[in-house]
Copies of this chain bind each other. A is one copy, B any other.
Amino acid sequence: MTHKIAIIGASGYTGAELIRLIAGHPNMEIAALVANSKAGQTMDSVFPHLRHLDLPPLVTLSEVDFSQMDLCFCALPHKTSQEVIRDLPRGVRVVDLSADFRLEDPAVYEKWYGNPHAAIERQAEAVYGLSEFNRDAIKDATLVAGTGCNAATGQYILRPLIAQGVIGLDDIILDMKCAVSGAGRSLKEGLLHAELSEGYNAYSVGGVHRHLGEFDQEFSKLAGRDVRIQFTPHLIPANRGILATAYVSGNAQDVYDTLAQAYATEEFIQVLPMGETPSTHHVRGSNYVHIGVCADRIENRAIVIAVLDNLTKGSSGQALQNANLMLGEEEHTGLRLVPCFP
């Protein structure tokens, strides 16, 4: 059976990435592509790399009959996403790639994002979409909130460690290195090739990055107490990839064993042999996560490093993985693309 799929926000990078992945999915048909600002254009004029695909033209939201859709991906900016999803017919399954339904408490949402929550009634039914940790709820969900790309990377490291109590909770540091596509297709001086290539810098330093809202929520729930981590993202001159370096207190071998066991049967999460470290090169364009653990020379200190592709496993791949769960497909369908190296 072929599922009819709509993508709202099809003219951004995550929209294009969804199309790239779905094109290889045997049981999905892209039935509608919504991009209000570029409605009327063909997809190949917006993304020429999709030229050979037989895709519907870009349309406005109001032109789509969502009741005919089996599932809808929403790849809009936050705030807009809430307003759009609020007004969709209730029957259609939705995977939201924005931040709008990730935070359970609307007050916390407003604190981090600055605007009041515009769809509180739908927030109640939203399921947090980190596939490996929330499968059962996702299968039954009508609205899944995809995690942030940084938030996903950090959680793949820290969730099992916090849940099993093998690390200290009060001195966790995540130093993150992020490729530029995470910033989207927005026109800012700092994202120009001439400004960004050949150098790098930190940003949102000191505990102000919005993905901390997710870390706080999820880690505190797991620990049964408030957990506040330090998190510093850095912008790196590459297009795809996130590398998170976690500094934790705890026995490195216990850390390793906990992660190895947690992901032993997870197809997309690869724990490297003890002492090896991963590279973003080796997950590029794919849905895989590589995790490495090293002991420090200082006793009871461990370093855990994880990498993933922010556009794939960090957003659109994760979204498709969740959609597969919601639609009763094999979870991995369309997602076994081998990383593209070199």
Contacts and interface: CB of A to CB of B under 8 A. Distances in A.
Interface in A50-105: 50-53
Residue in A53, A194, A272 whose Cβ sees the most chain B Cβ within 10 Å: A194
Contact of A279 (B185, B201, B303): B201
B267 A52 contact: yes
A170 to B, nearest CB: 9
B197 A239 contact: yes
B13 A194 contact: yes
B206 A295 contact: yes
B49 A339 contact: yes
B191 A192 contact: yes
Contacts of A187: 187-189, 192
A283 B200 CA distance: 11
Given A301-B230, A338-B53, A192 B199 contact: no
Interface stretch (A120-128, A148-156, A171-179, A313-321): A171-179
A239 B53 CA distance: 25
A277 interface: yes
A312 B98 CA distance: 34
Copies in the complex: 4
B49 A284 contact: yes
Interface string A233-247: 010111111010101
Contacts of A20: 338-340
A270 interface: yes
A223 interface: no
B200 A243 contact: yes
Interface string A212-254: 1000000000000000101010101111110101010000000
Interface string A2-14: 0000000000010
A245 to B, nearest CB: 6
Contacts of A181: 194, 342
A281 interface: yes
A44 to B, nearest CB: 9
A24 B338 contact: yes
Contacts of A13: 194, 342
Contacts of A196: 193
B234 A52 contact: no
* 9 A-B pairs closest in CB distance: A207-B297, A199-B281, A201-B279, A49-B282, A49-B339, A194-B342, A187-B187, A206-B294, A175-B175
